[in-house]
Amino acid sequence: MTQIADIIAAIAEEMRIAAERGTVASYIPPLARVDLGRFGMAVIDADGHCHIVGDADEPFSIQSVSKVFSFSMALNAMGEEIWARVRQEPSGSPFNSIVQLESEFGIPRNPFINAGAIVVDDILVARYGKDGAQKRLLDFLRSLVSAPDAIQMDRDVARQEKETGFRNIALANYMRTFGNIRNPVEDTLDFYFHQCALTMSCRQLAEVGTYLMMEGRNPRTKEQVVTPRHAQTVLALMMMCGHYDGSGAFAIRVGLPGKSGVGGGILAVAPGIASIAVWSPGLNAQGNSLLGTRALERLVQQTGWSVFRPSY
Ligand SMILES: NC(=O)CC[C@H](N)C(=O)O
């Protein structure tokens, strides 16, 4: 097999010259002004070797990729009881859709659509308090990376998320009417907007993802961050729901559990083999990184890492 470094160098070159790059998210200026030409990728293998290419050390807004980490924390806090508050099924709907909530009594389909992530945050705010939840999430992420201070919450992005977040505010209030938001809506949303505003680079995102590659263990400290069973649960949900109404296409094209964000980042995990982060800010129609998806597709074609291959 060609070395990973050579494979990702060739992928970065293909992405550098790609003409069609998607569209950057435009709902807040900090996302709208990101250069469409950016592309970065980081791959960390099971031995801890990190290969990077392009803008892999450039911080970006991880947005909904953060839902993986808040959900991991909520599983730790609540265990299987969490399924009374959020379900474990794909939605087939856009990330910010409200339609299913009415017929399904305010219980979101899964923790990775906005409604589900807001419920997850409500659980964490009830357990740790509004500021405590933020601090714990930051501690969780920083414990997994080599340069902890590089992971930040961008307060300006959080403020703008709040100022423009009418759909998320509606989702939270609507679920409150079913009793599925238990804290003051503002407190839960404050945490949600701050977690969307987390900033890190591909290198750090791939480092954070290593616990999912290693059956829930932090390879740096050997600490069990989540149980092996919960790591499997998170990965299964990433495969089924990590790309919203684009999840089926992502599973077929890439064949790895993955989670996207509107900042153009994707975290993908080849269990036992690699933690991969890619960033390209241009999005496709479902709000997932256009070139990020293509880059992962190329990587899997050349490494054979799809979990659906018999040899995996
Ligand atoms: N898909 C996403 O990354 C969505 C995150 C965005 N901040 C929102 O709440 O709508």
Q: Choose the residue to mutate in 161, 171, 198 for probing ligand 1, maximizing ligand atoms within 8 Å of C-beta.
A: 161
Other CB atoms within a 10 A radius of the CB of residue 128 amount to 17
- Per-residue tokens: 164: 């423009």
Report the C-alpha gap between 305 and 148 in whole angstroms: 29
Question: What is the architecture of the domain spanning 4-303?
Answer: 3-Layer(aba) Sandwich (3.40)
8 Å CB contact between 194 and 153:
yes
- Segment 42-62 shows an average pLDDT of 98
Question: Which pLDDT score, from 0 to 100, does residue 2 have?
Answer: 59
Those residues with Cβ within 8 angstroms of residue 22's Cβ, 6 or more apart along the chain or in another chain: 36, 280, 281, 282, 283, 284, 289, 290, 291
CA–CA gap between residue 271 and residue 217 (Å, rounded): 12
Q: What percent of the chain is modeled with pLDDT above 90?
A: 98
Is residue 63 within 6 Å of ligand 1 at its C-beta?
Answer: yes
C-alpha 261 to ligand 1 mean position (Å): 7
CA 289 to ligand 1 center in whole angstroms? 13
Q: Which residues belong to the annotated binding site for substrate?
A: 64, 114, 161, 168, 192, 244, 262
**Residue 185: is its pLDDT beyond 50?**
yes
Ligand 1 pocket, residue 64 CB under 6 Å: yes
Domain boundaries, given as residue ranges, for the chain? 4-303
Percent of the chain whose pLDDT exceeds 70: 99
Its ipTM equals: 0.97
Q: Is the pLDDT of residue 1 over 60?
A: no
| pTM for this predicted structure | 0.98
**Confidence at residue 310, expressed as pLDDT on a 0 to 100 scale:** 83
Give residue 311's pLDDT.
Answer: 75
- Mean pLDDT for all residues in the chain: 97
DSSP 86: S
Statement: residue 53 has pLDDT above 90: yes
What does the pLDDT look like over 153-180, one tens digit per residue? 999 999 999 999 999 999 999 999 999 9
The per-residue pLDDT for range 203-235, each reduced to its tens digit, is: 999 999 999 999 999 999 999 999 999 999 999
Pocket test for ligand 1, best of 95, 195, 284, 289 (most atoms within 8 A of CB): 95
Tokens read off for 281: 């800010």
* Mean local confidence (pLDDT), 123-147: 97
Q: Which atom of ligand 1 is nearest to the CA of 64?
A: 3
Q: Model confidence over 262-299: pLDDT tens digits?
A: 999 999 999 999 999 999 999 999 999 999 999 999 99
Ligand 1 centroid from CA 223, angstroms: 30
Does residue 194 have a pLDDT over 70?
yes
Give me ligand 1 centre to Cα 213, in Å. Answer: 25
